């Protein structure tokens, strides 16, 4: 019996030793890895000497509880950084509300620019354009393949019973796919009738770009949508760093790049870790 017990104990030890992986730091030695609940993996960093270059610098505001991460020296909040080349940032919602005394048809739509630095383009296939309201049109514009681009959608409903739930099909909410490569985004939201016909249950219209997984429509949003920001997914890569060497057991990946000048580091098959660190993937 004792022999069987010892054998079982050894087997358990072997299993545990092969399945337990000690989590290694994603930052350079001596550098802060976290800002609040946001992990800051290299090539990003908080202090000088902890990031690859200024593009990847993160400002960690500790005057806020919990501490909050911001992109470079901007007021763009960072909520997630992933090593697969994606960055989640907060962006504003543009809104247009009923204005008393405005002649129907003469109201001016509300517009805003997305605050996205050029080196962090909107991630292909990861975001959508949303407009909410019952007397609302939303437009999205920008530059696509060197030319001006504009598209939009209309959301209409005469009463609350017409509002769809969960899906944005044009009654209370409409949505658009964002074409790959769209840059310099501008959002605009307006009303055909100054919201006057629906103001009792829908006094405002809203428009925003949001990550595909970051928003699910609810009919209550037509009456009141309290959010002021949403999460947008942008891309990041290494550029203009010809001498940069990816870490151990990793390689450069150019598959996503349109001009072949930017790359991302990627662990070789069967390896895991941060391919941007010198020790790379294990």
Residue 98 lies in a domain: yes
Residue 183 lies in a domain: yes
Residue 37 lies in a domain: no
Report the distance separating Cα 59 and Cα 61, nearest Å.
6
- The DSSP H or E segment spanning 13 is helix 2-19
Averaged pLDDT, groups of 10, the chain, 282 residues long: 44 38 78 97 97 96 94 94 96 92 67 87 94 97 93 96 87 94 93 94 96 93 93 93 91 85 94 96 94
**pLDDT computed for residue 16 by the predictor:** 38
User: Parallel, antiparallel, or unpaired for β 229-235 and 86-92?
Assistant: antiparallel
**pLDDT computed for residue 117 by the predictor:** 86
Within a 10 A sphere around the Cβ of 236, how many other Cβ atoms? Answer: 23
Residues contacting 175, CB < 8 A, separation 6+: 128, 129, 130, 131, 153, 168
What's the number of domains the chain is made of?
Answer: 1
Structural domain containing residue 120:
91-232
Residue 84 lies in a domain: no
Phi, psi angle pair for 241, to nearest 5°: -130, 65
Report the distance separating Cα 127 and Cα 255, nearest Å.
20
Residue 46 lies in a domain: no
Residue 257 lies in a domain: no
Residue 106 lies in a domain: yes
Phi, psi angle pair for 56, to nearest 5°: -100, 15
Residue 64 lies in a domain: no
Within a 10 A sphere around the Cβ of 61, how many other Cβ atoms? Answer: 13
**pLDDT computed for residue 18 by the predictor:** 39
Cα 172 vs. chain centroid, distance in angstroms? 24
**pLDDT computed for residue 260 by the predictor:** 76
Within a 10 A sphere around the Cβ of 3, how many other Cβ atoms? Answer: 7
């Amino acid at each position: 019996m004792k022999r069987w017990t010892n054998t079982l104990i050894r087997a358990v030890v072997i299993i545990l030793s092969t399945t337990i992986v000690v989590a290694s730091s994603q930052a350079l030695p001596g550098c802060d890895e976290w800002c609040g609940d946001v992990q800051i993996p290299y090539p990003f960093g908080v202090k000088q000497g902890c990031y690859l270059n200024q593009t990847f610098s993160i400002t960690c505001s500790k005057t806020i509880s919990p501490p909050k991460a911001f992109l470079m020296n901007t007021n763009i909040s960072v909520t997630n950084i992933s090593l697969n080349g994606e960055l989640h940032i907060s962006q504003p919602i543009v809104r247009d509300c009923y204005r008393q005394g405005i002649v129907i048809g003469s109201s001016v739509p509300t517009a805003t620019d997305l605050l996205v630095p050029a080196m962090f383009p909107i991630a292909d296939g990861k975001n959508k354009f949303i407009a909410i309201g019952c007397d609302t049109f939303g437009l999205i514009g920008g530059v696509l393949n060197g030319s001006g681009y504009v598209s939009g959608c209309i959301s209409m409903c005469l009463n609350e019973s017409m509002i769809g739930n969960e899906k944005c099909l044009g009654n209370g909410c409409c949505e658009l796919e964002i074409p790959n490569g769209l840059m310099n985004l501008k959002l605009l939201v307006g009303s055909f009738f100054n919201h006057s016909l629906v103001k009792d249950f829908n006094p405002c219209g809203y428009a925003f770009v949001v990550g595909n997984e970051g928003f699910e429509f609810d009919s209550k949003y037509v009456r009141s949508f309290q959010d002021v920001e949403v999460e947008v997914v942008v891309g990041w890569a290494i550029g203009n760093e010809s001498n940069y060497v990816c870490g151990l057991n990793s390689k450069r990946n150019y598959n996503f790049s349109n001009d072949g000048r930017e790359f991302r580091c990627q662990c070789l098959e069967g390896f895991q870790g941060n391919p941007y660190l010198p020790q790379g993937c294990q």
